[in-house]
Structure 1
């Protein structure tokens, strides 16, 4: 009997596989969320990757459950759910599905890979149709609905239609082409002399200097293997971001824990001569940002691409800002070694006490 997608609220009514989420009472959890009870042998950088591993081990306990669910819709979770419903097709196209899941969650587009173009078209199609027909990521609260309820309609629409786009991306060109073109332009700029990257491997930091804000898929493309990005744009405009790679249990490599950004923001505010103030998100946010604040950004706006939100000029010079950020991270990580499977409790402890050296 083929598996079927069920609403998240019904998972306890029948044995259910939970993807890219976690819940008590699941027959099997396949998620990269921090602390999720994914079987050790199935851990992967993405939840879809764990699903694909499970499909290659059909004797996995719980995999015989006929119901599949997730508590939200995103590229990684959707590909995981779809793969469980169409396992033969998923395994036949595993490499491109893995790339699409990584691109959707980590925003890292490896334009040198032969499958990168195919993966980008799939993700851009999912993004475009999601926004056209439903609501953008993290947009459910605007509709006064819970994500686990509102996302059901997305799954029900996308699940029977995705195979056609996977097998023939050209059939969805009208939807995916606008974002695809933006990303291609961004990738070209990232590879041009106008952009420079400075890497601090011991800190997990990449400093990207490029003229204008870019779509994440282009901006984060060459940052694979790093977890913090300081973007420095012309006109002394800046954003510092902890990537999603430090929100989940990354399997492929050890990571450093996130540091709270309040001390860094306080130090920058003491130096800032413009009328704006530096603001920051908490360490449990999916992608904490440090930036000069205007109107408070909603989560959906912070998740959107940098070229889709205002980024304000600072009075602090680029070299000075880079040095301050680097010294803050060096101090914070002095006594900390990278490893896998940090708990949130350990991450909170690692960042205390923390201040910026004068």
Structure 2
């Protein structure tokens, strides 16, 4: 395999025929390795994460990879970074494939199997990536606030992280000063999730998990036990709630079939009929990376919605938790009648299912 060079996305547009694109779409790229919905990733390399696709390609060495000179991505996140780094460091990537897959899954889907012996290391690496990104640059989805384009601004992140990652991956203690705060917060929250203070109600036919836990928690703890499910209804003390479609239904998930996302407006309207506070239930569009339904206050920015639930306001409802859970479960059971889980929903098919499901 030839030694690839990272090329910022703006420059890669002019070198597409010689460029592998990761976790993004670049017209006329020699090879696409992305889990984005309807991305032209070859079937042999499809994976739940884009990093997983890159690792599959490394193992199989397709002709397109042999003839490539560059690798690029149009944004910086954990999954895309791991995929780019793996293609630039194939020997180390193959050696640490399992760990890298866990890092990418935690970064994108916020899921972590605490029984796995590498789970603790994966969390440390993701926390290090998160901390250094915020310290040195800007938070995820923060480029527009700096009046910059993500595909241009993110090149600076790649330039810093690509040469720094290998050393920390092999010895996470070298980055301890950065990863400790978030790591300890997640570990403490994970203890709450695993304690008797938390109850999980699973509805596998809907892909829904209802989490009853005292206080809002970091996603890496909250979503850890929701692997295999695509919606989470979080119910906190004082009747505070959030319903969220996970990122698993924004991408083309390879490992299992899923149900398509449904528009949540009708459910929000039903809850507004029951709500007696002055706040209104609002929801995001199905094409958002992680659509939420929640009681409105001051509108949340994309940065705030991507941040952990314990870092944003969540307002008290007049609806008791048991009643809310009943309404949410009833809505999805009704709306998903006749809809079967499968792989590779297009956005047109998703929208059509939502239209057909409306009363």
TM range (shorter): over 0.9
Could you tell me which residue of structure 1 aligns to residue 106 of structure 2?
Answer: 103
Offset of residue 355 of structure 1:
4.5
Please give the per-residue CA displacement for 1:59-91, whole angstroms capped at 9, x wherever unaligned.
343443110100000000000000011110111
Tell me which residue corresponds to 2:88. 85
Question: What does residue 286 of structure 2 align with?
Answer: 283
Q: Name stretches of at least 5 consecutive residues in structure 2 with no aligned partner.
A: none
Q: CA deviation at 1:110?
A: 1.2
Using the TM superposition, name which of 67-76 and 57-66 deviates more: 57-66
CA–CA separation in structure 2 for the residues paired with 1:207 and 1:274:
23
Count residues with an aligned counterpart: 356
Q: CA contact under 8 A between 1:165 and 1:172: conserved in structure 2? A: yes
Gaps of 5+ in 1: none
Q: Runs of 4+ in structure 1 displaced over 4 angstroms? A: none
1:12 shift after superposition: 3.6
TM-score by length of 2: 0.98
Asked if 1:307 is matched to 2:274, the reply is no
**Pairing 1:350–2:353 present:** yes
Q: Any idea what the Cα deviations from partners look like across 1:250-290, whole Å, max 9, x if unmatched?
A: 00000000000010011111111011111100000000000
Alignment-derived partner of residue 3 in structure 1: 4
Check whether the contact 1:250–1:341 (CA below 8 A) recurs between aligned residues: yes
* Equivalent-residue separation in structure 1 for 2:317 and 2:67 (angstroms): 56
Equivalent position of 1:146 in the other structure: 149
Helix, strand or coil at the partner of 2:293: strand
Q: How far apart, in 1, do the equivalents of 2:168 and 2:159 lie?
A: 16
Contact 1:263 1:354 in 2 (8 A): no
The Cα offsets for residues 16-67 of structure 1, whole Å up to 9 and x where unpaired, read as 0000001211010000000000000100000000000000011343443110
Counterpart among 32, 35, 40 of residue 32 in structure 1: 35
Q: CA deviation at 1:11?
A: 1.8
CA contact (8 A) 2:22 2:80 kept: yes
> Distance between the aligned counterparts of 1:145 and 1:100, measured in 2?
27
Match of 1:216 in 2: 219
Within the alignment, does 1:323 sit opposite 2:326 as a pair? yes
**Alpha-carbon RMSD:** 0.9
Aligned to 1:168: 171
Is the 1:141–1:147 Cα contact (8 Å) retained in structure 2?
Answer: yes
CA contact (8 A) 1:7 1:152 kept: yes
Residue 194 (structure 1) aligned with residue 197 (structure 2) = yes
Report whether the alignment pairs 1:237 with 2:240.
yes
User: 1:294 pairs with 297, 300, 303, which one?
Assistant: 297
Pick from 221, 227, 240 the counterpart of residue 230 of structure 2.
227
Specify the alignment match of 2:125 in structure 1: 122
Aligned counterparts of 1:261 and 1:209: Cα–Cα separation in 2:
21
Structure 2 CA distance for aligned equivalents of residues 227 and 12 of structure 1? 34
The answer (yes or no) to whether the contact 2:217–2:308 under 8 Å persists in 1 is yes
Q: TM-score scaled by structure 1?
A: 0.98
